[in-house]
Amino acid sequence: MADSEARYNCRMPTPLSLADFDVIAFDADDTLWHNEELFWEFKRHFKAILARYVDPSADGIDAYIDNKEVSNIGCYGYGFKSYALSMIEALVELSQGRAAADDIARILILLKQQMAADLDFVAGVREVLDHLTGRIDLMLITKGDTQEQRHKIDKSGLAHYFRWIEVVHRKDEGVYRELLAKHGVNPARFLMVGNALRSDILPVVAIGGQAVYIPNNTTWAHELEVPPEYAGLRYSELPALSALPALLRD
Ligand SMILES: [Mg+2]
C-alpha cells in the first residue's frame, strides 16, 4: 500500500459531507462481498488438474496462467466464465494438446460450483447501506459478465438499496461519464466507493468526482496496476467499509 500512497497522493480520511453529493455509488465485487478469493480457490483446483500433465509449481507456470487470464480479457471479458475459458486454454497448451476431455469437464464443473457459491459479505454491508438509505441516492456499478453479475446481485438480496444498478464491461472515464450523463448526475456531486484503484477510484476522480478507496488484501493484481497519467489524483482511503458512515457527515 505504501507504494500506491506515494504514487497517487491518497489523502487520509477527512470527513466528507453528505450534502456535497447527490449520489453515492458502490462497486460490488470485493467491496460489498468477497470475490477474488473464489478465483484463488478456482486456480488451486485448476493446478491440481494441471498436475496430471506438468508440474504446476515449476518456474513460469503461475505467470503463464495469470498472463493467459489477463491477455484474454479483450475477447472473453471478466468473470468466472472468462476465467474458465482461459484455464481450458492454459490446460490444452501446457499439456501440449494431451489434456483429456474429462479434465476439461472438471474445469466446467469447477466453474458451476464457483458460480453457485454463497456470497461472503464484507463486514457491515447491511448496516452501511441501511444508514445511507433515505439520506442519499445509491447506485451499484459493477464490472463483468452481465448474467454473472446480475445473478450475484439477485442472490445478494441487496438490490433494493440501489436506485440504479449498472453492469458494465469496463470502468473507465468514458463509461463513468456516460453513466452519470444517463442519470443526470453532476460528476462534482458524485462519490464512488470501491476496492480497485484502476477501476473504481482514479477514473472517477479524473472526471471530477470523488472516491473512497477501501483496499482489500485480495484485490486482483491487475487492478492495482494503474496508468501513469493518474499520478497525483487525490481520493480518500478507509480501512474498511464499516468506517464509511463515520466519514460521511450528515
Ligand atoms: Mg471490486
Give the tens place of pLDDT for each residue, 148-175.
Answer: 999 999 999 999 999 999 999 999 999 9
- Indicate the residue among 80, 95, 116 that finishes a domain: 116
- How many whole angstroms from 15 Cα to the centroid of ligand 1? 23
> Does residue 151 sit in the same domain as residue 243?
yes
pLDDT at res. 10: 55
Residue 12 has pLDDT above 70, yes or no: no
d(CA 151, CA 170): 18
Distances (CA, A) of 132 to 23, 24, 40, 135, 159: 11, 9, 32, 5, 14
Residue 2 Cα to ligand 1 midpoint, Å, equals 20
Same domain, yes or no, for 128 and 235?
yes
Measured in angstroms, how far is the CA atom of residue 55 from the centroid of ligand 1? 32
Tens of pLDDT, residues 210-246: 999 999 876 666 666 678 888 888 999 999 999 999 9
Domain that holds residue 41: 37-116
**Does residue 7 register a pLDDT over 70?**
no
Block residue for cell numbers 466464465:
81
Ligand 1 centre and the CA of 68: distance in Å? 21
Say how many Å lie between the CA of residue 29 and the centre of ligand 1: 4
Average pLDDT, the chain: 91
CATH number, domain containing residue 81: 1.10.150.240
From 99, 116, 133, the end of a domain falls on 116
Cα 121 to ligand 1 centroid, rounded to whole Å: 13
Tally the domains of the chain.
2
Side-chain-facing half-sphere of 55: CA atoms under 13 Å: 4
Asked if residue 230 and residue 126 are part of one domain, the reply reads: yes
Residues 75, 185: Cα–Cα separation, whole Å: 31
In the predicted model, is pLDDT for residue 77 greater than 70?
Answer: yes
Type of residue at 228: P
Which whole number is the average pLDDT over 59-88? 93
Segment 104-147, tens digit of pLDDT:
999 999 999 999 999 999 999 999 999 999 999 999 999 999 99
Whole-number pLDDT of residue 5:
44
Same domain, 98 and 150: no
- What pLDDT score does 250 carry? 81
Query: How many whole angstroms from 105 Cα to the centroid of ligand 1?
Result: 29
